[in-house]
Structure 1
Amino acid sequence: MVERQKQIGRDRVSRLVSWGHWFAFINGLLAIIVGYRYLDTIGLPESFIGWGYLVISTIGHFSFLAFMVYLVLIFPITLILPYSKILRGYAAIVATLSLCLLLYDTVIYDDYGLHLSPFVFDLAWADLNALLRGTSYIITPIAILAIELTLANFLWKRIEKIRKLNIGNKVVAVVGACFVASHLVHIWGDAADVTEITHFDDAYPLSYPATAKSLMESYGIEGIQNKKNKTPPKVSLEYPLAAMQCTADKQPNILLIAVDSLRADLIDPATMPFLAAYAKQNMNFTQHLSGGNQFNSGMFSLLYGLQGSYSNAVDLHFESPVITQELVKQGYQLGLFTTQDTSAMPQAIFNDFKRIDAEHANSYAKSDLQSVENLQQWTQTTSSPWFSLLNLKSPESYDTPIGFLGIKTVQSASKLKPAEKVLFNQYRQSLHFIDQQIEKVVASLSEETLVVITGINGKIFTSNSNEASVNLSPASVHVPMIIHWPNEDSGKQINYRTTHNGLVPAIMTQTLGCTNPASDYSSDQSLMQPRDKTWVYVGDHRIFAIYQESEITVIDRHGKYRIYDDEYSKRLKKKLSAPELVEVMREGRRLYIH
């Protein structure tokens, strides 16, 4: 008798487990229907490869999510309370909450371009009235609960018939194959840079597709270098928002000197005597911030004039910056002077330039000397007007030429560890060398040349590249912005906060004669006027900081955030300042086609 009761109990649990698997599978299909809203935001593929990857990744991903919800929240209850009525009601409530959460995530993704996370949840909660319009947020959960209860009861009544069909293993095989195949296809797509595949990387929540670019490239699969030959994807970004209307009265030559890892606080007479004096004689923006702490994010903000959240937009792999497009239209010759190993993202950022690379043989200082020589030869032989970008790289690696006579070591203004003190003074030697190169270039130019000297990013004193990549302190992003603007006030010290994003609007309006509002092509307004925003976005789409008047909020790709004081020296125990951060998220979606 006891054995008989145990057998009945095992049969009941087996039936409940079978029912739970089918309930999870069908909820995976419902999740796919809800998840279609993500595709409304990012757009549908236009090729067979894109559609094939989208289908298998969608089936695999949402089925996996549904199964994980079942495994974590429902399966344990099946063993603890193996009663069908209790389990059906409980499972329906769990499924309803899960689908509502997914639906809420689609709303947030459409508005902010981010998935739910601690940071985004706090932000969205403060912006709830704008996100949830009307009464649908009341009606929808009730409707979903009714569907889930109906589904749970329908499956329970027919579970024996379904089990007799013996198709469960086939369904598991198909879903499993889709899941595995989607990751294998993504490995290939990432290595070969197939944008119709990588375009969906961030589309779905909790999606971490496998990558193996270095492995695949070692087997000879086409990589990023051949991207220019690929067909552009469907346009999802309106950049610029309207056709540019530009008519220039004069066409001065323009030189942009962009130095890797150039800190603003070391532009002093002892370290960089020429640049310190040049700053006093020309327009000096003393509170200037780069768009990022790395080469890519800093250069992106400098030439595109957009906040770093746009840096992963697929369109920009095929769309060069508006400013270089307009320079070409107005007959400018564009020259880029950097080293052979310099690459930048997005891939179209330097498309309009004639690139003249210096050789790189384990010394950026030697390469910088050659870049300066290449620039001077080019400007002497190129007809006006011209726009040249000189990228000097020595400070990034603390480099100086062999035999370089440096300057005296000094005590740092801030407290440094012993190893940091060594790097600090070696960095100063490198800056002194760069100062001499800048003086050499500027001395050879006409007074009518528009000269912009800035840092692509700042510098912290560490040999740990990982530490440098996540540090978004003022030391990493506070850079000089010094401009010699012909016929403008000389010796003008500008003390309001400016950003790299403001350089493009300044040149476009005052030199190229563009009448479009800066918002058509930039995330900021011209450097020449105080900003109307109380915040600055620094970083890219993976990790970024929001600089506000008295605090700095750092957010990583997983939505974890920390708030620091304005000197980045103390972590603050406080909640997000929601209104400004809502503006940040909206700016990050403003140029996308909805």
Structure 2
Amino acid sequence: MVERQKQIGRDRVSRLVSWGHWFAFINGLLAIIVGYRYLDTIGLPDTFIGWGYLVISTIGHFSFLAFMVYLVLIFPITLLLPYSKILRGYAALVATLSLCLLLYDTVIYDDYGLHLSPFVFDLAWADLNALLRGTSYIITPMAILAIELTLANFLWKRVEKIRKRNIGNKVVAVVGICFVASHLIHIWGDAAEVTEITHFDDAYPLSYPATAKSLMESYGIEGTQNRKDQTPPKTSLKYPLAKMQCMADTQPNILIIAVDSLRADLIDASTMPFLASYAKDNMNFTQHLSGGNQFNSGIFSLLYGLQGSYADAVDLHFQSPVLTQELTSQGYQLALFSTQDTLAIPQGIFNDFERIDAEHTDSFAHSDLQSVANWQQWSKAATKPWFSLLNLKSPESYDTPIGFLGIKTVKAATELKPAQKVLFNQYRQSLNFVDKQLEQVISTLPSETLVVITGVNGKVFTSNSNEASVNLSPASIHVPMIIHWPNETSGKQVNYRTTHNGLVPAIMTQTLGCTNPASDYSSDQSLMQPSDKSWVYVGDHRIFAIYQESEITVIDRHGKYRIYDNDYRKRLKKKLSAPELIEVMREGRRLYVH
């Protein structure tokens, strides 16, 4: 008798487990239906490869999520309380909450471009009224609960018939194959840079597709496709928002000198005497911020005029900046002078430039000398109005040429560790070398040339690249912005805060005669006037900071955030400033087509 009761108990648990598996599978299908809203946000693929990957990855991902919910929240209750009525009601409630959470995530993703995290939840809670419109937030959960209860009871009555058909193993095999195949295809797509596959990397919540580019390359398996050679995917970014209306009265030559790792606080008479004097004689923006602390985010904001969250937009791998497009249409000759193998994201950023690269061996200082010589030769031979970008890299690696006679060491204005003191003075030597190159370039230019001298990003004194990559302090963001406008010789110190994003609108309106509002093609207005925003976005989509009047909020890709004071020293124990951060998130989605 006891043995029979144990057998009955085991049969009941077995039936409940079988029912739970099918309940999880069908909820995976329901999750796919809800998850279709993500595709409304990012757009559907146009190719067979894109559709094939999307179908198998969607089936594999949402089935996996549904099974994880079952395994963590429902399966243990099956063993503890093996009673069908209790389990069916509980499972229906769990499934309803899960689908509602997924549905809420689709709303947030459509509005902010981010999935739920502690940071995003705080933000969305403050913006709840705008996100949840009407009464659907009440009706929808009730409708889902009714569907789940009906589904739970329907499956329970038919679970034995389903078990007898022996199709469970086939379903598991299909789902398993989809899950594994989607990751294998993504490994290939990532290595071959197939944007129709990688376009969906961040589309679904808790999605971490496998990548193995370095492993494949170590075995000699290289991507055969290049983004420039591929057909652009369906456009999801409208950049610019309207057709550009531009008509210039004159066509001055334009030179932008962008120096890697150029801090604003060291543009002084002892370190960079020429640039310090040049700043006094021209327009000097003393509170200028780069778009990021790395080359990619800094140069992106400088040329596109957009905040760094747009840098990973697939469309921009095929679309050059509006600035260079307009310069090309107005007949300018464009050239980029940098070091060999200088790459930037997105890949379309330099498409309009003729690249004249300096060879890089073991010294960026030697490469900079060659870049300056290349620029001088090219500018003398130019037969049309020209726009050139001269990128100097020495300060990034504290480099000076062999035999360079530098300047005497000084004590830093702030407290530094012993190792930092060495880097500080070596950095000053590099800046002094760059200063002499700037003098050589500028002294040969006619006054009617528009000249912009700025830093791509700032510099923190560390030899640890990982530490530098996550440091978004003013030292790594505050850079000089010095502009010589043609035929204007009087110096002007501008003390309101400006950003790299404001340079493109300034050139477009002041020089190229564009009448479009800056919001059509930029995340900021012209730096010739104070911004009406109370915040500045710096960084990329992985880690970024929001600079406000009295605090700096740093947020990583997982939604963890820390709030610092203006000196980036004291961590403040306070909540996020929701209104400004909501504006930041909305700006990061403003140019996407919905």
TM-score (norm 2): 0.99
In structure 2, what is the equivalent of residue 350 of structure 1? 350
In the alignment, which residue of structure 2 is the partner of 1:445?
445
**1:222-371 equivalent positions in 2, closer than 5 A:** 222-223=222-223, 226-371=226-371
Letter in 1 for 2:303: L
Residue aligning to 1:569: 569
SS at match of 1:284: strand
Task: Give the 3-state SS of the residue equivalent to 1:153 in structure 2.
Answer: helix
Please report how far the alpha carbon of residue 417 of structure 1 lies from its aligned counterpart in structure 2 after TM superposition.
1.2
Instruction: Single out whichever of 355-364 and 488-497 deviates more from structure 2.
Output: 488-497
Segments of 5+ residues of structure 2 without an aligned counterpart are none
* Superposed counterparts of 1:402-551, under 5 Å: 402-488=402-488, 490-551=490-551
1:100 counterpart = 2:100: yes
Cα contact 2:192–2:225 (8 A) shared by 1: no
Partner of 1:12: 12
User: What TM-score, normalized by structure 1, do the two folds share?
Assistant: 0.99
Q: What's the CA shift for 1:566?
A: 1.4
Partner secondary structure for residue 125 of structure 2: helix
Is 1:384 matched with 2:387? no
SS in 2 for 1:571: coil
Structure 1: distance between partners of 2:338 and 2:146: 63
Give the deviation of 1:216 after TM superposition.
2.4
Q: CA offsets, 1:4-26, max 9 Å, x none?
A: 21111111111111111111010
How far is the alpha carbon of 1:408 from its aligned partner? Answer: 1.0
CA distance in 2, matches of 1:23, 1:412: 66
Query: Could you say what secondary structure the match of 2:226 adopts?
Result: helix
Q: In structure 1, what is the Cα distance between the partners aligned to 2:264 and 2:223?
A: 37
SS of the equivalent of 1:92 reads helix
Q: 1:283–1:489: 8 Å Cα contact kept in structure 2? A: no
1:585 aligns with 2:585: yes
User: What is the CA distance between 1:406 and its match in structure 2?
Assistant: 1.1
2:195/2:227 contact within 8 Å kept: no
Distance 1:150 1:422 in 2: 72
Q: Would the aligned equivalents of 2:193 and 2:225 in 1 still touch at CA under 8 Å? A: no
Inter-partner Cα distance in structure 2 for 1:451 and 1:539? 26
Query: In structure 2, the residue corresponding to 1:134 is in which secondary structure?
Result: coil
Q: Secondary structure at the match of 1:388?
A: strand
What amino acid does structure 1 have at the position aligned with 2:232? P
Letter in 2 for 1:11: D
Count of residues in correspondence between the two structures: 594
Letter of the structure 1 residue corresponding to residue 297 of structure 2: S
List per-residue Cα deviations over 1:40-84 (Å, max 9, x = no partner): 000000000000000000000000000011111111111111111
1:487 deviation in Å?
3.2
SS at match of 1:63: helix
Q: Distance in 2 between matches of 1:192 and 1:218?
A: 14
SS at match of 2:355: strand
Q: Cα 1:511–1:224, aligned 2, differ >3 Å: closer, same or farther? A: farther
Does structure 1 retain, via aligned residues, the 8 Å contact 2:308–2:537?
A: yes
Displacement of 1:541 after TM fit?
1.1
- Mapped to 2, the partners of 1:218 and 1:350 lie a distance apart of 29
> How far is 1:2 from its partner?
1.5
Q: Which moved more, 1:162-171 or 1:368-377?
A: 162-171
Name the CA distance, whole Å, in 1 between partners of 2:518 and 2:490. Answer: 25
1:166-181 matches, cutoff 5 A: 166-181=166-181
- C-alpha contact (below 8 Å) 1:192/1:221 kept by paired residues: no
The match for 1:86 is 86
Give CA-to-partner distance per residue, 1:74-119, whole Å, 9 cap, x none.
Answer: 1111111111111111111100000000000000000111000111
Deviation at 1:217, TM superposition (A): 3.3
Q: For residues 64-213 of structure 1, what are the structure 2 equivalents within 5 Å?
A: 64-213=64-213
CA–CA distance in structure 1, aligned partners of residues 219 and 53 of structure 2: 22
Q: Following the alignment from structure 1 to structure 2, what is the Cα–Cα distance between the partners of residues 297 and 201?
A: 20
Q: Deviations over 1:182-232 (max 9, x none)?
A: 000000000000000000000000000001112223445454883211111
Contact 2:53 2:182 in 1 (8 A): yes
Alpha-carbon separation, structure 2, partners of 1:237 and 1:246: 22
Unaligned runs of 5+ in 1: none
The residue number in structure 2 matching 1:375 is: 375
Q: How many Å separate the matches in 2 of 1:281 and 1:518?
A: 28
Whole-Å separation in 2 of the counterparts to 1:352 and 1:75: 58
- What residue identity is the alignment partner of 1:200? F
Q: In the TM superposition, what is the alpha-carbon distance from 1:489 to its structure 2 partner?
A: 6.2
**Contact (CA 8 Å) 2:239, 2:521: kept in 1 or not?**
yes
* C-alpha contact 2:194 2:225 (8 A) present in aligned 1: no
Which residue identity does 1:573 align to in structure 2?
K
Q: By how many angstroms is 1:562 displaced?
A: 1.1
CA distance in 1, matches of 2:439, 2:223: 40
Question: For the residues of structure 2 that align with 1:568 and 1:25, how far apart are their CA atoms?
Answer: 49
Q: What SS class does the counterpart of residue 13 from structure 2 fall into?
A: helix
CA distance in 2, matches of 1:82, 1:514: 72
Q: 1:340 to 1:225 in 2, by over 3 A?
A: farther
The question of whether the paired residues in 2 share the 8 Å contact of 1:503 and 1:527 is answered with yes
Q: Distance in 1 between matches of 2:235 and 2:166?
A: 46
C-alpha distance in 1 between matches for 2:215 and 2:447: 52
Q: 1:332 to 1:423 in 2, by over 3 A?
A: same
Matches within 5 A, 1:391-406: 391-406=391-406
Return the letter of the residue paired with 2:557. R
Once the two structures are TM-superposed, the CA of residue 583 in structure 1 deviates from its matched residue by 0.6
